Structure 1
Amino acid sequence: MDDAAFKSHVEAYVDENWETIVEDIRYLVQVESVEDLSAAEPGKPWGPKSYEALRRGLELAERLGLETTNVDGYLGFGDLPGASKTYIATIAHTDIVPLGLGWTVDPLDVTRKDGYLLGRGVLDDKGPFVLSLWAAHFFVEHVKKTGKLLPYTLRAIVGNNEETGMGDVPYYLERYPEPAFCFTPDAEFPLICGEKGVYHAEFTSDAIAGEKILELDGGTVPNAIPGLACALVRADASKLPDAPHIDIEDAGADEQGPLARISAHGKGGHASMPEGTVNAIGLLDAYLLENNLCSDAERIFLNFSARLCSTTDGTSANIQSADDKFGPLTCISGTVRTVDGRFVQTVDSRYPTSTTGEALTTAMTSLGKEYGCTFRVLSDAVPFYIDPNSPEIATLLDTYHEYTGHEGTAFVIGGGTYARHFKRAVAFGPVERAEVDTIPAWVGAEHGPDEGVSEEWLRRALKIYIVSIARLMELDL
């Protein structure tokens, strides 16, 4: 079959199966697959809901003709055996970040609106995961029809712990050989060949909450800029001044007097792409400080928190840095909570090769001491980079260009994907970087409310994936 005929066959395959593909995405979105280590057990290391998404993912893979393996509940995979045990892999994940607030549609269902799919995970990463299964299914049908094995085994890996630490892939790599090449559909086109270091940490105040601020509660996860942050304070709500992006509610009273709930509304987004976002924690800090809704000790923490939220380039934490591959460092405040009577604030930094996690720790430990906070590192993954001048990467970029007409040049990002855990791997779509300005304002970003993705982008990505895999199979790996 020549190239034009093959592409025509792929086109018909996607058209014929699209409605079933959307329903498969819905089947996964219905599971609130957030990590819950408190309920973990043997065979379900990330908790029961994450496991249910893994189970459903493997169920879909088996239905689509792949030979499935559950790797002790850490993750799984579906294989189409080839003429060689050497394998080409895709890897996508079935776990999600918490739902959060601010949704206008059901986050645990797929809502179709004006050519977009909305729901938690439709973009990150249940929708793309389903595409990876259907790309593999195309070759299952091809092998059945022709009776000829693919040159290499094709493996669709079902990740299950990407959002909270990627503990699933190291477990896998301890038990199975590396793929000859792997791509993850969990980022942007054209192709991502490098990722900044990903650094998560937290500050805990020495100050005891409760004198004026009973509770701080902002954000959902450390790796997202929060769109909502709230405080429960000792105040008469009727006497508090109005302010932009601030809601004030009467919260009753306790034995010491009236209580008010202050809610600040920002503009959320992914921690690796803070441009254009507005951190709700910073808005809340400013209102509480301006209206003296804090004790002297609480004020010290609020000043500290406001400082952290005042920039996204690390200057407020004295950790700014940049290099020629990745550009500037980013640093955001992701969450604030009241834990055991103290304020706990997390930070997420994406750093280039011009600095190190150790340097970040030194600077932020010192900053925390200045404001009466202890500092603790939660995780640190070093930067990842793969030389873009390889036949595999050229194959993917050429296929992308053929389908989109957009320039096919590899680039680097601040986000962290599964690619960083493999020797030869990249992140490849499905978001169209060249067309992001066309997304309607009511379509939310990954990790935020009303998370959405263009159906046309997904359809096109599936075609790109199928043709790319066919061409990778022709390379000498």
Structure 2
Amino acid sequence: MKEKGIPMVDTELTERIDAWIEARWETIVSEIGTLVGIASQEDLEHAGPGMPFGPGPRKALDAGLDLCKRLGMHAENHEGYVGIADYPGADPTKTICQIAHLDTVPCGPGWTQDPHVMTRREGYLMGRGTLDDKGPFVVGLYAMRFWHEQGVRFPYTMRMIIGTNEETSLKDVEYYLEHFDQPTFLFTPDAEFPVCYGEKGIYQGVFTSGPIVDGKIIEWHAGEAFNAIPTDAHIIISGEVEKLPAAEGLTISQEAPGHVRIAAKGRGGHASQPAGTKNAIGMLVDYLLTNHLVSAGEEQFLTLQKTLIDDYTGAGVGVAAEDELFGKLTIIGGMAWLEDGRLHQSVDSRYPTTFSRAQFEEQLSLAAKRFGASYETDNDTEPFYIDPSGEEIQRLIRVYNEVTGDDRKPFTIGGGTYAREFKNAAAFGPEMPWIKDPDWVGPMHGDDEGVSEELLKKSLKIYILGIREIMEINYA
């Protein structure tokens, strides 16, 4: 007998799962490729009825729902905000949900391939969304499909919630929670294994310079999103290229008579994981300051940018903090731009329970004042966590450890996932950050985003067994 809550190795089942995955793998890869082929960044300029986040997210939603229907699910589009696809259970009032998103962050100029044409290279799938979150979406669907093909009818409905606005405003989840009951339990395949029971707070804002007088910066719009450290950034300043020194990682060219274009190539990544990155905005700032290429007012603001970007612990701008649950606060600068005669620098921080919006506003306003700038909050989401000793977390960690042979513990993250929007939820894979990918494989939100096919296969097996475990919990 299987002791309640403790999975035991079932050789016949695991071999059947492995064979099932192999038999369907090429189809799964093809379905991921179809979704990657849809550019699904938010485009509010072209939003309209039925496509509140623009035509790209709507097209991706339609494709996702089409796949759900072909897999035998009851699938519905809810005004373009969110999709819902079910395999009904014996008790329709209780739902065990996955939620994945088909919108993506924008693609910077540093890709070495078309980001919306998925390619296979040495066991990796390459393309925007392969890891975040189109690949995991397809894998999560097939995990539910496995049990449907086995003829299993679980006590609770299996539901996939298809998001379209995760990368920006989360208005998809807002819509879902306004129209549907809270899930009985939910996990999202949009983070890391083994299982995440808590997420740092997410705080964002903007530094703004005073009016720039006699400025040397002609054009600047660097970075693609607040929550991404840019790999690529460029700036156009007044000057002549032959008068400027060369620098590692920078390409300097004459844009027009009297105008020089300086482009930086760093190593980007997600705002929640700044370690090991090299911010392209920071590279430009360092070059401009070292060579005194901007006006006094611009230099003052660039010094503020350097203070922010050079120390992602937040100590430079007075917001360093930590706690036992989440560890240390991190902070990054993701976008910089010139608008209406003023310079702007975004802020994105992932913070523990010992810090708050009020503290950010106080300390960052003080930092801004030191450099003749101002500061304003853009948005804030407080830290989220559930009990790691609860039955759901304990079952999922056991499944993970059984499949992999590891002995890992539940953890918290700095990233923000859908889980924090629900009362009883967790983030569950698919990344295993301790496994090093080749240098040519980029991270989520970065250039040349990619994911290991073996990682996706293992994730699929974990999700299949994880669903069974959660379905065995008594939610009377």
Q: TM-score range by the shorter chain?
A: over 0.9
- Show the 5 A alignment for 1:39-438: 39-85=46-92, 86-143=94-151, 149-208=153-212, 211-253=215-257, 258-435=258-435, 437=436
How far is 1:73 from its partner? 1.0
Determine the structure 1 residue equivalent to 2:4: none
Secondary structure of the 2:347 match is strand
Secondary structure of the 1:207 match is coil
Secondary structure of the 1:24 match is helix
Determine the structure 2 residue equivalent to 1:441: 439
CA contact (8 A) 1:267 1:279 kept: yes
Q: Distance in 2 between matches of 1:447 and 1:421?
A: 21
Q: Mark the CA change 1:64 to 1:397 in structure 2 (over 3 Å): closer, same or farther.
A: same
Secondary structure of the 1:77 match is strand
Q: Distance in 2 between matches of 1:95 and 1:151?
A: 31
Determine the structure 1 residue equivalent to 2:456: 458
Please say if 1:473 is aligned against 2:466: no
Secondary structure of the 2:23 match is helix
Provide, for residues 200-248 of structure 1, a one-character-per-residue CA deviation record: whole Å limited to 9, x for no partner. Answer: 1111221337731111222111111111221101111012111111110
Provide, for residues 243-268 of structure 1, a one-character-per-residue CA deviation record: whole Å limited to 9, x for no partner. Answer: 11111001112xxxx11101122211
- Report how many aligned residue pairs link the two structures: 467
RMSD after superposition:
1.5
How far is 1:50 from its partner? 1.0
How far is 1:374 from its partner? 2.5
Provide, for residues 363-390 of structure 1, a one-character-per-residue CA deviation record: whole Å limited to 9, x for no partner. Answer: 1122222222222211100000111112
Secondary structure of the 1:264 match is strand
How far is 1:95 from its partner? 0.5
Q: Distance in 1 between matches of 2:138 and 2:378?
A: 31
Letter in 2 for 1:344: H
How far is 1:293 from its partner? 1.3
Unmatched 5+ stretches in structure 1 = none
Q: Distance in 2 between matches of 1:157 and 1:92?
A: 7
Q: Distance in 2 between matches of 1:297 and 1:151?
A: 65
Q: Distance in 2 between matches of 1:202 and 1:451?
A: 27
Q: Distance in 2 between matches of 1:43 and 1:339?
A: 32
Q: Mark the CA change 1:468 to 1:209 in structure 2 (over 3 Å): closer, same or farther.
A: farther
Q: Distance in 2 between matches of 1:424 and 1:408?
A: 22
How far is 1:360 from its partner? 0.5
How far is 1:357 from its partner? 1.4
How far is 1:361 from its partner? 1.2
Please say if 1:36 is aligned against 2:36: no
CA contact (8 A) 1:209 1:342 kept: no
Q: Mark the CA change 1:100 to 1:209 in structure 2 (over 3 Å): closer, same or farther.
A: farther
How far is 1:391 from its partner? 1.7
Letter in 1 for 2:134: K
Secondary structure of the 1:208 match is coil
Please say if 1:5 is aligned against 2:15: no
How far is 1:451 from its partner? 0.5
Provide, for residues 42-101 of structure 1, a one-character-per-residue CA deviation record: whole Å limited to 9, x for no partner. Answer: 221111111111111111111111101212211111000010011100011100000112
CA contact (8 A) 1:210 1:341 kept: no
Secondary structure of the 2:461 match is helix
Provide, for residues 133-159 of structure 1, a one-character-per-residue CA deviation record: whole Å limited to 9, x for no partner. Answer: 11122222223xxxx522111001101
Q: Mark the CA change 1:260 to 1:210 in structure 2 (over 3 Å): closer, same or farther.
A: farther
Secondary structure of the 1:433 match is coil
Letter in 1 for 2:473: L
CA contact (8 A) 1:209 1:338 kept: no
Q: Percent identity?
A: 47
Letter in 1 for 2:25: W
Q: After superposing the two structures, state which structure 1 stretch, 39-48 or 369-378, moved more.
A: 369-378
How far is 1:431 from its partner? 1.0
Unmatched 5+ stretches in structure 2 = 2-8
Letter in 1 for 2:242: S
CA contact (8 A) 1:323 1:352 kept: yes
CA contact (8 A) 1:194 1:411 kept: yes
Secondary structure of the 1:334 match is coil
Provide, for residues 393-440 of structure 1, a one-character-per-residue CA deviation record: whole Å limited to 9, x for no partner. Answer: 1211111111111123100010000000111110001112342x3x11
Q: Distance in 1 between matches of 2:303 and 2:469?
A: 56
Letter in 2 for 1:178: Q
Letter in 2 for 1:200: Q
Q: TM-score, normalised by structure 1?
A: 0.95
Letter in 1 for 2:193: F
Secondary structure of the 1:97 match is coil
Q: Distance in 2 between matches of 1:370 and 1:287?
A: 22
Q: Distance in 1 between matches of 2:127 and 2:441?
A: 10
Determine the structure 1 residue equivalent to 2:6: none
Secondary structure of the 1:174 match is helix
Q: 2:33 aligns with which of 26, 29, 52?
A: 26
Q: Distance in 2 between matches of 1:124 and 1:473?
A: 26
Secondary structure of the 1:378 match is strand
Q: Distance in 1 between matches of 2:161 and 2:143?
A: 13
Secondary structure of the 1:403 match is helix
